[in-house]
Copies of this chain bind each other. A is one copy, B any other.
Amino acid sequence: MRIALDAMGGDKGLSPIIDGGLLAAQEYGVEIVFVGRREEIEQELAGHRLSQSLHNSVQIAHASEVVHMDEEPGAAIHAKRDASMVVGVQLVKRGEADGFVSAGNSGGVLGAAQLFLGRLPGVRRSALGTVYPTLHGYCFVLDIGATTDCKPEYLYQFGVMGSAYAHGVLGIETPRVGLMSNGEEESKGSQLVKEAHQLLKAGPLQFIGNVEGKDIPNRPADVVVTDGFTGNVFIKTSEGVAALLLKTLEREVKRRPHAMLGAMLAKSALRATRACLDYTDYGGAALLGVAGVVIVAHGRSEAKAIKNAIRVAKQAADSNIIKVIEEGVR
């Protein structure tokens, strides 16, 4: 198993990425191909004392260019054919890597994957999916931003792809699939959602009907299907509300000397709460529907998040998710 890792992606420079790649190589026994400027990668690697076996499981694929976080992704991947994310995707396309992980400009990674890998036969649009914390473990939400404007058939296929992912990567025997809507009743939803509801209902998935944002934390569904616009609003709103709540709590605590002491005593519980909800740490988002395994890690990723993203790429490749999706959308 060989995973290509974009060494140039991420907000925090090469260091956490190289660290994460080495951790994954040790822990999961995968080979890592660091993609990016050879000299910079070698310099970073020189700072580590690698065992012979670890040394053998690491390679470098040189790529002279970088797509930066603030670049317009569409233009960048066309202009920079030697960008690390383009070269990484090409390694997957040529079968020289079983998957690609990048914490770089996410629009760029999506664009490069769609352009150079292309969609699987029968797949109408690709979808980006992420695990989402609930009170009872994680569920899988897609699309969170690959396809902004959707048709009912796209949402149906997102259900198929999400179900395959939840089975293969998350290990759920028969995933329950829900459709994000503004009400549980079948009659609720936009025109798009109402039509997608009928398609999902008629299909072979274990479709449980509409789910609402307020119920998702109770995990009625293992897979939540939505269009890329709504899914993106859903994810970002969740981030915003969690931050709002924690900041408000901090402010209210600071106003009360008793509460300050209390918060100190409850510090580890607060930290655990934060950790439970930090899905960004869980391993990144999977781009489904393209002809290869591509995992988009969060730009802020630390070594642990990079390591987790590589684990997810490995699981996706191990479970042959590409083939399962190809068969599911037929």
Give the secondary structure class of A's interface. helix
A52 interface residue, CB < 8 Å from B? Answer: no
Known: A248-B277, A249-B273. A216 touches B230 (CB 8 A): no
Contact with B along A202-227 (1 / 0, CB 8 A): 00000000001111110000000001
**A261-B265 in contact (CB<8A):** yes
A139: min CB distance to chain B, Å: 12
User: How far is A219 from B237 in the complex, measured between Cα atoms in Å?
Assistant: 13
Copies in the complex: 2
**B269-A259 in contact (CB<8A):** yes
Neighbouring B residues of A272 by C-beta, 8 Å: 252, 255
Q: Which of B133, B227, B247, B266 contacts A256 (CB 8 A)?
A: B266
Q: Which of B72, B238, B247, B259 contacts A265 (CB 8 A)?
A: B259
**A273-B252 in contact (CB<8A):** yes
**Residues of chain A whose beta carbon lies under 8 Å from any beta carbon of chain B:** 72, 133-135, 145, 148-149, 180, 182-183, 187, 189-191, 193, 212-217, 227-230, 232-249, 252-253, 255-256, 258-259, 261-270, 272-273, 276-277
